[in-house]
Amino acid sequence: MKKFIGIIGLFFLLIVFVLNLLFTASLSSNESISIHSNSFLYIICLIFFSLFVFFITKKVNCYLYKNKSIKTRFFILFFVFIVYVLFTFLWNIFVNPLVVGDQLHVCNLAQAMNRGKVSEFLFNESYAKIPIRNYLKAYPQQITLAFVYFMFFKLLTFDIMEFLRFFNIISNILTIIALYKIAKHLSKDYQINIFRLFSFIFTFVSLLMLSTFVYGDILCMPFALFSVYFIMKYTESKKIKYAILSSVFMMISYMIRMNSLIFIIAIVLYLVINLIKDFKSFKISLLNLFVILLYICVSIFPSKIIETSFFYKYNLTNLPSYPRISYFLMGIEESKRGNGWYNEDISEEALIGSPNIENLYLNKIKDRLIYFSKNINYTFNFFIKKLASMWTENTYSAIKNNNTKNYSFDKYLPILTFYQKAILIMICLCCFIVLIQNRNNLSFDIILLLTIFIGGFVFHLFWEAKSRYIIPYIIILFPIASININALKTKK
């Protein structure tokens, strides 16, 4: 199983690597994607800059650990961390983009919960020109996110939606800590270049910029990452407290963002692999089986209870449901935004309550798959363009979501795109070499991180696409890419 996951991971890393060398995608203000081929000179510059960053992070890490004390290294890290946090606060204060679209509906629902005026709010009109009650029945994942925001409002004692960005800033801080904890856990088996890890984190500018985006993308990440860390601690120690902590963190992450299901599936697979590994011990096997059931129940059921309770309390159960398969249909159709991106023509049919909509979508999916099977060249080109629209849009919508009337960051787009593209190329290359070098000695923890990356890659290959959706699957590679090449510790 480990070798199979490793091979699949290598293949997908190679795809991301090659796509970023060959193509660059740009996201317009109306969220449409354009893809162009990179020039030979641009490709050479990307390769040289990636190698330059690799060797600089290697040399600086060696210098710091050979010539500087722990106290000095901590002071440097603390100083950079403080600068990062201060800049993030200033960014949120001065840029301050409008809260619009889905963000606005979720925040308004949280405010209505806080003010006890949900019933009145449900009859407002959404941006999709349907009542909010229909909108929430179509997108029930917004209810649990609004519930989390409602709890934040209770904590703040006021419900000004812009202040929710404060929790995004805290989330970014916790994401940094979680990635460091995961890397330190890996350091029990591998030598980690800590300077390179923090270089990835602090210079991944999109994460900082998107702290202004009042939605679940940034907020869910630290909870998912801490869930990963604590489940690693559980498999190492077999202490149930770590399994409970992991489950609770994932419960919150899943409430905030439904796509955390990819992390849940990867962690359950990881636990199943460990169950098989420990099968000779009946006691440990029983504990592992209990933890699997505990993890699934705690991670998923609370969100479903909140969602169902909301439907019954506000009489939404009889409203037409929005078939989830529409996202799959969007994922395999062309749209004005880009291949596999959100398509209003598809969603509108369900939102207006068209009869037998699920059967209609199923028939369209069937027809589309038949067309794919009969037109192999078209199918190949379709998915190459779809992958490129996500993985080579290297701002990950950070500039598009931060442009305002007062500030336009379009002039920085080429610089940010080049830098983050080069870093992603370096990450893929480092991961590729680490996996090949240690192919016979991969820990289950690395397999877990790789499984999450694979899950995100496959899921968005067929599901509705957006470039910002792939951010968690880039970040999850940071600890692997920070492992020193040709420097494996001997396992005990």
> How far is residue 336's CA from residue 318's CA, in Å, rounded to a whole number?
33
- Determine contact, residues 15/387, Cβ cutoff 8 Å: yes
pLDDT tens sequence for the chain (492 residues): 788 999 999 999 999 999 999 999 999 988 899 999 999 999 999 999 999 999 999 999 998 888 888 888 899 999 999 999 999 999 999 998 999 889 999 999 999 999 999 998 998 877 767 889 888 988 899 999 999 999 999 999 999 999 999 999 999 999 999 999 999 999 999 999 999 999 999 999 999 999 999 999 999 999 999 999 999 999 999 999 999 999 999 999 999 999 999 999 999 999 999 888 877 777 888 898 999 999 999 999 999 999 999 999 998 888 877 788 889 999 999 999 999 999 888 877 777 666 788 888 999 999 999 999 999 999 999 999 999 999 999 999 999 999 988 888 999 999 999 999 999 999 999 999 999 998 888 899 999 999 999 999 999 999 999 999 999 999 999 999 999 987 444 443
Cβ atoms < 10 Å from Cβ of 324: 12
DSSP state of 490: P
Question: Residues 6 or more apart from 390 whose CB is under 8 A from it?
Answer: 25, 460, 465, 466, 467, 469, 470
Q: Please count the helices (runs of H) and the strands (runs of E) in the chain.
A: 23, 4
Cβ atoms < 10 Å from Cβ of 167: 18
Q: Which residues pair with 341 in a beta bridge?
A: 465
338 alpha carbon, distance to own chain's centre: 20
Question: Residues 6 or more apart from 409 whose CB is under 8 A from it?
Answer: 399, 402, 403
Q: What pLDDT is stored for residue 490 in this prediction?
A: 42
Amino acid occupying residue 267: I
> How far is residue 423's CA from residue 102's CA, in Å, rounded to a whole number?
31
Q: What pLDDT is stored for residue 492 in this prediction?
A: 36
- Determine contact, residues 395/347, Cβ cutoff 8 Å: no
DSSP E strands: which ranges in 404-482? none
> How far is residue 459's CA from residue 259's CA, in Å, rounded to a whole number?
9
Amino acid occupying residue 313: K
CA neighbours closer than 13 Å in the CB half-sphere of residue 171: 29
Reduced to 3 states (helix: H, G, I; strand: E, B; else coil), residue 27 is strand
Question: Residues 6 or more apart from 333 whose CB is under 8 A from it?
Answer: 340, 343, 346, 368
> How far is residue 298's CA from residue 275's CA, in Å, rounded to a whole number?
19
- Determine contact, residues 23/388, Cβ cutoff 8 Å: yes
> How far is residue 79's CA from residue 202's CA, in Å, rounded to a whole number?
12
> How far is residue 102's CA from residue 132's CA, in Å, rounded to a whole number?
11
Tokens describing residue 84 = 């990062």
